[in-house]
Amino acid sequence: MISGGTNWALPSHAPAPGVGDLTRRMTDEQPRWGRDTAVASRPVRSYGTMTDDLRSVPGAAASLPPCQPSERNPSVSRRSAGKLDLDPATVRRARSLARQAGRPIVALARTHSTVSVERAVLRLAGVRGADADGNPWVNRLVDAVRDEVGLEHGVALPVWDAIRRRGAPTGAGGGDAVTALAQRAAAGRVGLRLPEGRDADLARRAARREVARGVRRIDARRAERERLVRRIGDAPRKPWIYLIVATGDIHEDIPQAQAAAREGADVIAVIRSTGQSLLDYVPEGATREGYAGTYATQENFRLMRAALDDVSKELGRYVRLTNYASGLCMPEIAVLAGLERLDMMLNDSMYGILFRDINPVRTFVDQRFSRQVHARAGIVINTGEDNYLTTADAVDEAHTVTVSQLLNEYFAKEAGLEDWQLGLGHAFEINPDLPESFRLELAHALLARELFPKAPLKWMPPTKHMTGDVFRGYLLDGFFNLVGALTDQGILLVGMMTEAVVTPFLSDRDLALQNVRYVLDAAGNLHEDFRPAPGGFIQSRAHQVLDEAVDLLEAIVAEPGKAPLLEAIGDGTFGLMKRPADRGKGLDGVVRTSAGYYNPATDVLENDSAPVTARGGGR
């Protein structure tokens, strides 16, 4: 019973209108069955998404004074080397097992091709555009080759043979000639054949010439990035602050991304539309409708990169752009990212298999090619290990993250990526109710840091144990940031206290950035003083996780068959999902290559060295 009765006369029976409306609105903004499945759509995470309100924040920079660039003591190892006292023999063993597990997969990737790899070749040769129904010409032409000749020899020989025999339309050269061929192929048979002898040599040479031109364009974009970073300046500190934008409409994304950059973001990620990973083609043009994200298209890439170039100049620091080379079109999207100077790409070796049920062989073939392109383009890849921890227990399954990181590292290096390009993922997902959860997080994060001392590492905030209690979530994000600072993470995805509640409010993102800045300013150099006790809890836990990772890798390589890793994926070793090699989406786009297979892109990427450049990481 209330004490005073004075307010009884007020219309108290009616619910407070504001509150009711707000609740309903928030509910409406939740993702839906059949539609805006924001969570499901995101290969990574849903925080950092911005509200529409942000569009009109031209001068938002004022709210974020730059952090003091931290003067690091040169005598103290920046890499916190040796803090865990890891046994070098165990570390070597772990790497050698990862190599053992990965090598047969690489062999598989070398002897197979996919429709998307072949389409990527055509894109490198300059084919652009789509037919009236939106089917890209690269799809039409690859389908035509498949129908008339078969795909096992690659598209290059039949395509450039046909161009040579038929002659290019006057004035059309390079990509235009191929596009013209695709258009003719769509209208009817163009008499594609597999050339032999001298004809094959001529076709091979022409294909290589055209594709090498595309690779040189990627080289030029990389050099341009390096020049811009030098001229404009780089992110003022590490870790780089990574924020997500996603409205579905590229023209809405652009002002939001610019505002986020002004508020302090060093990296902007544009989340893709739900379901794009399962499209077996790359949509064309600037897109204004997507489900809980914006389609990855070449034009959208171009528009966003240009907008961030503008804001980079305004802010005096190069703002990086991230998208997703995942799903069925990984190789093509990697090519488009290289051509349009994207700076980072989500690219995980097993994510599509486990979380999207894409055929394992398709994934590994596509992945290798896409990583070769990323390597050439100077793009930093971000891997998706955080996803394991959202499906499995973050303590019990911590070693699966380590195993995946080791596999990702092996596949990445085999494809030509260098250490500075490996944004290996991991996440702060241990149940906060568990005693010592923070120490466990520290142990895991430090293990990743010490196992991969030269990799930037991508540190992902809590999502699984974020509840509607935004106050508790804010504290949790603070501890997440502290682990990031203590373990020298390279890329920090900003955690939102409204994770799992609403699309973050303008104020949520502001509070989240204050949280990051406070922790980095207050404790950014604490790693210099932080030394876990020898033989103590953190060291022991890290050793345990590494040992478990070695055990798991041993179990994987002990699987039967030519490619034990495929068997392991098939019987549910990772993330509790069973993904047999002969199942999954995109299998019909995989082909075993013939002895005469020719891929001019692989030829150029593997045999022509890139022009000498400073490394593009801007570190």
Partner 1 sequence: MKKIVRPYGDTTGDGMVQVSFTLPVPHDKRAEGAALQLARKMGMDPALVVHAKPVGADFTFFVVYGSVSHLVDMSAVKVLEREYPLLTPKEVNAAVKTRLRREIVVIGACIGTDAHTVGIDAILNIKGFAGEKGLEYYRELKVVNLGAQVLVPDLVARARAEKADAVLVSQVVTQRDAHLRNTKEMSAAFREAYPAGQAPLLVVGGPRFDEHATEELGVDRIFGRGTTPGEVASYLVHALTERHTGGARR
Can you read off the two tokens belonging to residue 255? 């002002």
Contact status: 404 vs partner 1 (CB under 8 A) = no
Q: What minimum distance in Å lies between the beta carbon of 565 and partner 1?
A: 19
Task: Say how many C-beta atoms besides its own lie within 10 A of residue 362's C-beta.
Answer: 26
Whether the CB-CB separation of 380 and 456 falls below 8 Å is answered with yes
Contact status: 31 vs partner 1 (CB under 8 A) = yes
Question: Nearer Cβ to partner 1, position 234 or 280?
Answer: 280
Residues 6+ apart with CB under 8 A from 315: 61, 261, 262
Contact status: 3 vs partner 1 (CB under 8 A) = yes
Contact status: 10 vs partner 1 (CB under 8 A) = yes
Q: What minimum distance in Å lies between the beta carbon of 498 and partner 1?
A: 11
**Phi, psi (rounded to 5 degrees) for 243:** -125, 150
How many residues touch partner 1 under the rule CB under 8 A: the total is 59
Question: Nearer Cβ to partner 1, position 158 or 384?
Answer: 384
Can you read off the two tokens belonging to residue 26? 């928030």
Contact with partner 1 (CB under 8 A) among 275, 432, 478, 596 = 275
> What is the Cα Rg of the chain in Å?
25
Q: What minimum distance in Å lies between the beta carbon of 275 and partner 1?
A: 5
Question: Nearer Cβ to partner 1, position 168 or 577?
Answer: 577
Strand partners, 358: 585
Contact status: 329 vs partner 1 (CB under 8 A) = no
Whether the CB-CB separation of 306 and 278 falls below 8 Å is answered with no
Rounded-to-integer distance, Cα 159 and Cα 164, Å: 9
Task: Say how many C-beta atoms besides its own lie within 10 A of residue 438's C-beta.
Answer: 17
Q: Which of 332, 320, 321 is nearest to 277 (CA)?
A: 332
Q: What minimum distance in Å lies between the beta carbon of 123 and partner 1?
A: 23
458 labelled catalytic: yes
Catalytically annotated residue among 458, 477, 508, 598 = 458
Task: Say how many C-beta atoms besides its own lie within 10 A of residue 550's C-beta.
Answer: 21
Contact with partner 1 (CB under 8 A) among 8, 133, 396, 607 = 8
Q: Tokens 């129908």, residue?
A: 147
Q: What minimum distance in Å lies between the beta carbon of 577 and partner 1?
A: 5
Contact status: 391 vs partner 1 (CB under 8 A) = yes
Whether the CB-CB separation of 290 and 253 falls below 8 Å is answered with no
351 labelled catalytic: yes
Contact status: 39 vs partner 1 (CB under 8 A) = yes
Question: Nearer Cβ to partner 1, position 28 or 71?
Answer: 28
Q: What minimum distance in Å lies between the beta carbon of 207 and partner 1?
A: 33
Whether the CB-CB separation of 50 and 509 falls below 8 Å is answered with yes
Contact with partner 1 (CB under 8 A) among 57, 127, 482, 494 = 57
Catalytically annotated residue among 253, 266, 366, 386 = 386
Contact status: 587 vs partner 1 (CB under 8 A) = no
Residues 6+ apart with CB under 8 A from 5: none
Contact with partner 1 (CB under 8 A) among 13, 167, 396, 435 = 13
State the Cα angle at 458 between 457 and 462, rounded to 5°.
Answer: 135
Contact status: 40 vs partner 1 (CB under 8 A) = yes
Contact with partner 1 (CB under 8 A) among 23, 24, 52, 53 = 53
Q: What minimum distance in Å lies between the beta carbon of 489 and partner 1?
A: 24
Contact with partner 1 (CB under 8 A) among 322, 367, 463, 515 = 463
| DSSP structure class, residue 35 | S
Question: Nearer Cβ to partner 1, position 42 or 222?
Answer: 42
Rounded-to-integer distance, Cα 450 and Cα 395, Å: 19
Q: What minimum distance in Å lies between the beta carbon of 280 and partner 1?
A: 11
Q: Is 43 helix (H, G, I), strand (E, B) or coil?
A: coil
**Phi, psi (rounded to 5 degrees) for 326:** -145, 175
Contact status: 19 vs partner 1 (CB under 8 A) = yes
Burial 556-570, CB ≥16 within 10 A → b, else e: bbebeeebbbbbbbb
Contact with partner 1 (CB under 8 A) among 35, 230, 231, 531 = 35
| DSSP structure class, residue 55 | G
Q: What minimum distance in Å lies between the beta carbon of 310 and partner 1?
A: 17
Q: Which stretch binds partner 1 (CB under 8 A): 28-36, 238-246, 415-423, 596-604?
A: 28-36
* Footprint (CB under 8 A) of partner 1, residues 505-524: 505-507, 510-511
Can you read off the two tokens belonging to residue 131? 């037919």
Q: Is 242 helix (H, G, I), strand (E, B) or coil?
A: strand
Strand partners, 374: none
* Footprint (CB under 8 A) of partner 1, residues 113-152: none
310 labelled catalytic: no
Q: What minimum distance in Å lies between the beta carbon of 442 and partner 1?
A: 25
Q: Is 592 helix (H, G, I), strand (E, B) or coil?
A: strand
Rounded-to-integer distance, Cα 77 and Cα 504, Å: 37
Question: Nearer Cβ to partner 1, position 158 or 293?
Answer: 293
Contact with partner 1 (CB under 8 A) among 41, 179, 287, 383 = 41
Contact status: 88 vs partner 1 (CB under 8 A) = no
* DSSP string for residues in 171-240: T--THHHHHHHHHHHHHS--------HHHHHHHHHHHHHHHHHHHHHHHHHHHHHHHHHHHH---SSSSE
Catalytically annotated residue among 242, 291, 351, 597 = 351
> Quick one: CA torsion of 418, 368, 91, 618, rounded to 10 degrees?
20
Whether the ω angle into residue 239 lies within 30 degrees of 0, i.e. cis, is yes
Q: Tokens 């703002």, residue?
A: 319
Question: Nearer Cβ to partner 1, position 500 or 523?
Answer: 500
Q: Which of 267, 615, 607, 300 is nearest to 454 (CA)?
A: 615
Q: What minimum distance in Å lies between the beta carbon of 522 and partner 1?
A: 19
Contact status: 575 vs partner 1 (CB under 8 A) = yes
Can you read off the two tokens belonging to residue 388? 């394991």
Question: Nearer Cβ to partner 1, position 107 or 576?
Answer: 576
* Footprint (CB under 8 A) of partner 1, residues 345-384: 354-357
Binding site for partner 1 (CB under 8 A): 1-4, 7-8, 10, 12-13, 15-16, 18-19, 27, 30-35, 37, 39-41, 53, 56-63, 259, 262-263, 274-275, 278, 291, 354-357, 387, 391, 463-464, 466, 500, 505-507, 510-511, 575-577, 585
Residues annotated as part of the active site = 351, 386, 458
